[in-house]
Amino acid sequence: MKTFRLSSLLFFGFTSYILAQEPASLVNFSHLDRLTEQIAFYGDTVSIVHVYANYPDYHWVDANDSGPEGIACVDDAARAAVVFLRYYELTHAASSLTKGRALLKFVMKMQAEDGEFYNFILADHAINRKGKTSYKSFGWWAARGVWSMSLGCRIFKTIDPQLSDELRKRVGLTFPYIDELLKRYDTVKNVGQFRVPQWLVYQSGADVSSELMLGLTEYYCATGEERAKDFIKRLADGLRIMQDGNSSTYPYGLHRSWETMWHMWGNGETQALAYAGTILNDTVMMRSAEKEAQGFYARLLIQGFMKEMDVAHPEARVNYEQIAYGVRPMVVGLLRLYDGTKNELYEAMAGLAASWFFGNNILHEALYDTATGRGYDGIRDSLTINKNSGAESTIEALHTLVELDNYPLAKKYSLYTKTKKSSNENYLSAVFATRGGEELLLVIDLRQSRVMIFSGKESKQFQEGVKQF
C-alpha cells in the first residue's frame, strides 16, 4: 500500500491497482449541438444555447421559471464555451475551438459598456433588460462571463492574439466591481456562531465567488497581472472563512455556500482553491481544498449525496433534487486536487463521485446517456428521474466528462456502484464494485482523521477486521 502525507495532521492510504483497458471516450456533444443555434445578433453571427429541452421529443423550450425569461442566456453560453475550449485544449479538436469562439461572441455582446452583464435574450433576440434573472448586474451571470472570457483569453493567446486581447480588455471592465467588493475586505459579520465575510459576491456568496475566482485564475494564467493575483488571494481568504470543521468535527470541512446555507449545486470552492493553489503555489489554499475533500466529500461518497442543508440546523437537510451541477464541482475539484498533489486518492474519489452519472445513485439509473449526449435534469425524489435534458444539466455533465476522460483511474472508478455502507464509532466506510465483482473500499478512520481506499484482498481483509497494513 502506498501512503501519502498531505498535512501535519492527516494521512491517507491507497492500495496498488491494475487498470483495466481504458474505456472509450465518454464525451458526446450531439445533444449540446442540438441545443445550440447560430443567430444574427447585434451586427454579428453568434451561437446561443437554448435553455430547456423536455422529454420525450427534446424540442427547445423557453425559460419561464421567473416570468418570461427568454430562450437562451449567458449562464449557459458561458459554461458551454468553457466546455468547448477545454475540450479543444485537451484534444485539439478544431470544431470545438470554433464552437467556443461563437459562444464567446454571444457572451461579449451581452456585456454592457460599463462591464456588467445582462443574461437572457427573448424569442425576438432582443436582450431581456429587466427580468429578475437577467437585469444588468455583477453577479452569477457576470461571474460565468468572466470565467469563459478569461479562459478564452488564455486559449486564444497564441491562436488569435487580437481576440485574446479583446477578451482581456472585457474582463478588465469588471475589475472596478471586484474592487468595490474588496473595499469590505476583512469585514466579517456573525450569523449565529458562523463567520460570514462581506467581500464575496452578494456579501456572502462563496458559491458564485468560486466561479469568479476560477475565471480570475485563468485570466492570471493568460496575463500574469498582479492585480488579478491579489483578487484571487482575497477571494480565497473569503472562501476559507466560509469553511467550518474538519475531517472529524462537524460540519467536516465543508465550505458554506451563502451565510449558513450549504448547497451542492455550484459549490465550487474546492475546485477554485485547488486550481488557484496549484497555479500560485499557495499551500494555504490547497489545505482548505483538501480539508473539504478529506472531511466532507468523503462523507458524501459514503453516506450519499443531498441537495442542501442549513449547517446551523443539519437535521433539516434536503435530499432532492440532485443535479449534474452539484456533481461537476465535486468531481473536477477532486481532479484539480490530484493535479496539485499527485495523490491518487483524489483521482479515485473523483471517479466515485462521477459514477453518479452512470447509475451509482439512489435510483440506480444513468443521468447521462453516452449514446445521445443528454445530461438528464436530475433526480426529483427517491422514486423519480427527471428525463428532461436542458442546457445546464447537459453542459455540466459534459464538463465533468471532458475532464474525466483524461484521468484513467478516475474514469475506471466512474463505472463502480456502491453496494453497501457501514459505520461505527471508529470508521465510516462504503464498498463500491463493478458488475464483474471488482471491489473498492472507501474508509474514513474517525480516530486518526484519515481517509483510505483499499481494493482486492486488502478490502476484504479490512472488512473482516484485519487492519495490518
**Could you tell me which residues come within 8 angstroms of residue 169 by beta carbon, excluding any fewer than 6 positions away?**
none
Architecture of domain 25-418 in this structure: Alpha/alpha barrel (1.50)
The length of the chain, given as a count of residues: 469
Contact between residue 352 and residue 334 where contact means Cβ atoms under 8 Å apart = no
Domain extents in the chain: 25-418
C-alpha to C-alpha distance for 72 and 285, rounded to whole angstroms: 35
Q: What is the pLDDT of residue 66?
A: 62
CA distance 439 to 360: 14
b/e burial code for range 252-274 (CB count within 10 A of at least 16 → b) = bbbbbbbbbebbbbbbbbbbbbb
- Mind listing the pLDDT tens digit of every residue in the chain (469 residues)? 333 222 322 333 333 333 334 458 999 999 999 999 999 999 999 999 999 999 999 999 998 876 689 999 999 999 999 999 999 999 999 999 999 999 999 999 999 999 999 999 999 999 999 999 999 999 999 999 999 999 999 999 999 999 999 999 999 999 999 999 999 999 999 999 999 999 999 999 999 999 999 999 999 999 999 999 999 999 999 999 999 998 889 999 999 999 999 999 999 999 999 999 999 999 999 999 999 999 999 999 999 999 999 999 988 899 999 999 999 999 999 999 999 999 999 999 999 999 999 999 999 999 999 999 999 999 999 999 999 999 999 999 999 999 999 999 999 999 999 999 999 988 999 999 998 989 999 999 998 889 999 988 888 888 777 454 4
- The 10s digit of each residue's pLDDT in 117-134 is 999 999 999 999 999 999
189 in Cβ contact with 196 (< 8 Å): yes
Report the 3 state secondary structure along 203-257: HCCHHHHHHHHHHHHHHHHHHCCHHHHHHHHHHHHHHHHCECCECCECCCCCECC
d(CA 309, CA 315): 8
* Residue given cell 459562444 in the structure block: 103
What local confidence, expressed as pLDDT, does residue 464 receive?
A: 79
| Three-state secondary structure readout of the chain | CEEEECCCCCEEEECCCCCCCCCCCCCCCHHHHHHEEEEEECCEEEEEEECEECCCCCCEECECECECCECEEHHHHHHHHHHHHHHHHHHCCHHHHHHHHHHHHHHHHCECCCCCECCEECCCCCECCCCCCCCCECCHHHHHHHHHHHHHHHHCCCCCHHHHHHHHHHHHCCHHHHHHHHCCCCCEEEECCEEEECCCHHHCCHHHHHHHHHHHHHHHHHHCCHHHHHHHHHHHHHHHHCECCECCECCCCCECCECCEEECCCCCHHHHHHHHHHHHCCHHHHHHHHHHHHHHHHHHHHHCCCCEEECCEEEEEECCCECHHHHHHHHHHHHHHHHHHCCHHHHHHHHHHHHHHECCCCCCCECEECCCCEECCEEEECCEEECCCCHHHHHHHHHHHHHHCCCHHHHHHCCCEEEEEEECCCEEEEEEECCCCCEEEEEEECCCCEEEEEEHHHHHHHHCCCCCC
Handedness of CA 158, 163, 167, 173 (dihedral sign): positive
Strand partners, 263: 308
Q: What is the overall mean pLDDT for the chain?
A: 93
> Dihedral (C-alpha) 53, 59, 64, 69: value to the nearest 10 degrees?
100
Judge contact between 120 and 73, C-beta under 8 A.
yes
What pTM does this model have? 0.93
Each residue's pLDDT tens digit, 42-58: 999 999 999 999 999 99
- How distant, in Å, are the alpha carbons of 65, 235, 438 from that of 131? 11, 28, 52
